[in-house]
């Protein structure tokens, strides 16, 4: 193996600290821009300790609990013996590249990445989704091995084993992009902002509240507002075009429920009826004890909302309208 073993156990507090000293396999998709959960900006802020690291979600918890079960099923199906890799691995050639692999095959230079999911994206044209493929190639770059398997349990009963051979072109791109990103971390230079929800969350954490002050307009803010005007005009036009085309499609389908053609599938069916209970009216009718209402009332902190109002003389179709973002 081309990697050094860092003396920390996976999942320990020391392991969490060590992960901030480099880019791991689960970080690589965010660097490349194919992560489902994190943006480059959020990852950059996490590595510098400016925002808390992503906490374990319920799907992640079940994935951790089922990891051993999927590993056993993989071993039974393939006849390969697995060993758990509990240590953090660090690339000898590039110390900022880290790896926390799930399993290694005994007697082979083959790693196994274990996933559990209900997502339909595993049924796409590419058998391995881009973020998972990126993660495995990152691990192959760190270990120096030539092949990895993805053992994914779909919907609790469909085990798929997908082989991922080493792709030197992919690895070279990863190394270059990750090296550039690590330089941004070392120099504390933020990456470009994007429009993702992950970036919005990071900014909300970094700037949680207002101090009542007013920012003076500048050339930079004028430029941003001009860009926002253009973007909103284009969005409005695109939404109008989309709605018109959709209505034309509805008219073309008439009473038909399904349309299938080369590369597309369109359904036009009535959704099931829904029921809505006006619980406020029910509560008022029952006239509950006020202490009971207080017991089941929770307060939630309001978000910071960006509202942009363009004046009537602004050269924009948005003049005089509030825009919340």
What pLDDT, on a 0 to 100 scale, did the predictor assign at position 64? 87
DSSP three-state, residue 167: coil
Q: How confident is the model at residue 312 (pLDDT cuts 50, 70, 90)?
A: low
Local confidence band at 14 (pLDDT 50, 70, 90 cut-offs): confident
CA distances from 123 to 33, 195, 267 (A): 21, 27, 19
pLDDT tens digits, one per residue of 57-99: 888 888 888 899 999 999 999 999 999 998 899 999 999 999 9
DSSP one-letter code for 295: H
Distance CA 305, CA 207 (A): 12
Nearest to 41 by CA among 203, 207, 178, 183: 203
The overall average pLDDT reported for the chain is 89
Contact assessment for residue 179 and residue 38, using Cβ atoms and an 8 Å cutoff: no
Which residues partner with 114 through β-bridges? 151
Query: Which of the pair, 181 or 18, is modelled with greater confidence?
Result: 181
Phi-psi region of 320 (alpha: psi -120 to 50; beta: other; left: phi over 0): left
Q: And the tokens for 271?
A: 């959704």
**What percentage of the chain has pLDDT greater than the value 70?**
95
Query: How is the chain split into domains, by residue range?
Result: 3-204, 218-255
Q: Are 289 and 298 within 8 A, CB to CB?
A: no
Site of tokens 């925002």: 51
pTM: 0.79
Average pLDDT score over residue span 218-246: 94
Q: Is 3-204 a domain of CATH 3.90.320.10? A: yes
pLDDT at 201 over 50: yes
Q: Mean pLDDT check: name the lowest of 26-30, 75-79, 215-219.
A: 215-219
Answer whether 228's CB lies under 8 Å from 318's CB.
no
Output 313 or 91, whichever has higher pLDDT.
Answer: 91
The C-alpha atoms of residue 40 and residue 42 are separated, in whole angstroms, by 6
- pLDDT score of 59: 82
């Amino acid at each position: 193996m081309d990697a050094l073993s860092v003396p920390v156990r996976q999942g320990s507090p020391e392991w969490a600290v060590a992960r901030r000293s480099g880019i791991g396999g689960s970080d690589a998709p965010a660097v490349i821009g194919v992560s489902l959960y994190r943006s480059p900006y959020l990852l950059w802020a996490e590595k510098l300790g400016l925002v808390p690291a992503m906490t374990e979600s319920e799907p992640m918890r079940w994935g951790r609990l089922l990891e051993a079960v999927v590993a056993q099923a993989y071993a039974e199906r393939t006849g390969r013996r697995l060993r758990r890799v509990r240590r953090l691995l660090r690339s000898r050639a590039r110390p900022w590249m880290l790896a926390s692999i799930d399993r290694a095959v005994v007697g082979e230079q083959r790693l196994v990445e274990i996933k559990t999911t209900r997502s339909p994206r595993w049924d796409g044209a590419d058998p391995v989704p881009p973020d998972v493929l990126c993660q495995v190639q990152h691990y192959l770059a760190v270990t120096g091995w030539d092949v990895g398997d993805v053992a994914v349990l779909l919907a609790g009963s469909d085990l798929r084993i997908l082989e991922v051979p080493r792709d030197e072109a992919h690895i070279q791109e990863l190394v270059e992009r990750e090296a550039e990103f690590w330089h941004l971390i070392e120099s504390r230079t933020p990456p470009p902002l994007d429009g993702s929800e992950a970036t919005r969350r990071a900014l909300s954490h970094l700037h949680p509240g207002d101090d009542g002050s007013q920012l003076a307009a500048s050339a930079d803010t004028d430029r941003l507002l001009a860009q926002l005007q253009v973007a909103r005009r284009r969005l409005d036009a695109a939404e109008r075009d989309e709605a018109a085309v959709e209505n034309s499609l509805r008219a073309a389908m008439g009473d038909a429920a399904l349309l299938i053609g080369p590369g597309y599938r369109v359904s036009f069916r009535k959704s099931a009826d829904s029921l809505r209970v006006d619980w406020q009216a029910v509560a008022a009718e029952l006239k509950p004890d006020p202490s009971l209402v207080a017991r089941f009332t929770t307060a939630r902190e309001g978000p910071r909302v960006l509202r942009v109002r363009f004046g009537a003389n602004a050269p924009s179709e948005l003049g005089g309208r509030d825009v919340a973002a």
